[in-house]
Structure 1
Amino acid sequence: MFFPACLALAALISPASAYFKATAPQLHDQWANGEARTVSWTKGAHDGVTSFDIEMSRLSTDGLTLIAKNVPSADSSPKSINILLQDVPPGDDYFLLFLNSTHGVMYGTSPRFSILPAGGSTNGSTATNPKVATVTVSGAPNPTQAFATTFPVTSGGTPRLIVGGRRWSVATALSGCILGAVWTLLW
């Protein structure tokens, strides 16, 4: 009972400035094979996440499509990439995962969207950002394939598991819990 209370205390005193939200694709957007679409996001400032990976998954089938590794996410970098789909199986149950695949830390997911056959009538924004990289994704999900593209590691290195100011507030709360437990056992 004492340890869960300590964890709850640690969560309460930790700053809640870390967040990650996909802004494109939107819920029920339709993408078509042969067209490029922009994936964009917003994230917490100064959260320590300097890069992340993008993967695509479906609800109805097993498998992942590994899209981009080490996507830069520093405060000064663009908050989008373009994705060109080629021969991706059509379906209405796709979503994107934004994560650190090395550590298994999930930062966020996109809303559900559809992929149509080439030439299909789509909805949602078709504008792409000419100033960012375009990643070509082809074929059915296959988690044994390498990422479609890998960006160079940024000067900040890999993302940290516990980020920003949380490190010290969680450490302080856990130290207090441990000292409290020792005090209780000794007296």
Structure 2
Amino acid sequence: MSPTYPARVLSLLLVLLTSLSVHAQYFIVNQPGASSTWKNGAAYPVSWTKGLLDGIDTFDIELTRLSQDGLIYVAMNVQSTYKTLNVLLNDVPPADDYFLLCLNSTHGITYAVSSRFTVAAANSTASQPGPDSAAPTVTVSGAPNPLVGFARTFGPEANGVRGTVGLGWEGQAGGVLAVLGAMLVGAVVTIW
């Protein structure tokens, strides 16, 4: 006969364990702004501000339009240590309803959406902030096409391994508490 556990005890343990893994996410796209106009043939900076201990090590950047289906895949696995990424547009259809998405495309988690901005033809007179010379540049070409992958995929930083040294004492304490909680649950289940 297997032991039965009161629903309140199991619910309390579930809430306790999930609350240990929750952390605030703070991610804002600074550029492009609402009045930005990007023209084809020029590079423009994409800049963001993100939380220090939000747990986001890498993210993906996609370009989308409000009135059209489809995405233009800009960059995958952008390291959170970057503050800016330059985007060079080639033959992207001009329109005034573009947005940049910062997300985890594998898990479908959106971290931030930029303000609505305009993409103009190459012969327009649009001139916005110039590219950041210290940031990498990604070249994006053409209209949305589901068969075309990301324009650039960044490699993992430090072999993709993240230790507990950079987590700070809050992250380390949360990890230790989660392990202790799992051990306690295991002990209760074994004894019961």
| TM-score, normalised relative to structure 2 | 0.72
The CA deviation at 1:46 is 2.3
Work out which of the two has the higher radius of gyration on C-alpha atoms and give 1 or 2: 2
Residue 136 of structure 2 is matched in structure 1 by 133
Classify the secondary structure of the residue corresponding to 1:31: strand
Task: Name the CA distance, whole Å, in 2 between partners of 1:143 and 1:122.
Answer: 29
Question: Is the aligned partner of 1:115 residue 2:119?
Answer: yes
Asked if the contact 1:50–1:157 (Cα under 8 Å) also holds between the matched residues in 2, the reply is no
Asked if the contact 1:50–1:156 (Cα under 8 Å) also holds between the matched residues in 2, the reply is no
Question: Is the aligned partner of 1:145 residue 2:148?
Answer: yes
Question: Is the aligned partner of 1:45 residue 2:52?
Answer: yes
Q: How much is the aligned-residue C-alpha RMSD, in angstroms? A: 3.3
Identity, in percent, stands at 45
Asked if the contact 2:85–2:136 (Cα under 8 Å) also holds between the matched residues in 1, the reply is yes
The CA deviation at 1:158 is 8.3
Task: Name the CA distance, whole Å, in 2 between partners of 1:15 and 1:107.
Answer: 13
- Higher relative contact order, structure no. (Cα contacts within 8 Å, ≥ 6 residues apart): 1
Task: Name the CA distance, whole Å, in 1 between partners of 2:27 and 2:160.
Answer: 19
**After TM superposition, which residue ranges in structure 1, 4 or more long, deviate above 6 angstroms?**
none
Residue 91 of structure 1 is matched in structure 2 by 95
Q: Which amino acid aligns with 1:27?
A: A
Structure 2: gaps (5+ residues): 1-7, 186-192
Residues 150-173 of structure 1: CA distance to partner in whole angstroms, max 9, x if unpaired?
A: 1111227389xxx985x949x97x
Task: Name the CA distance, whole Å, in 2 between partners of 1:143 and 1:44.
Answer: 31
Matched positions, count: 167
Task: Name the CA distance, whole Å, in 2 between partners of 1:132 and 1:143.
Answer: 27
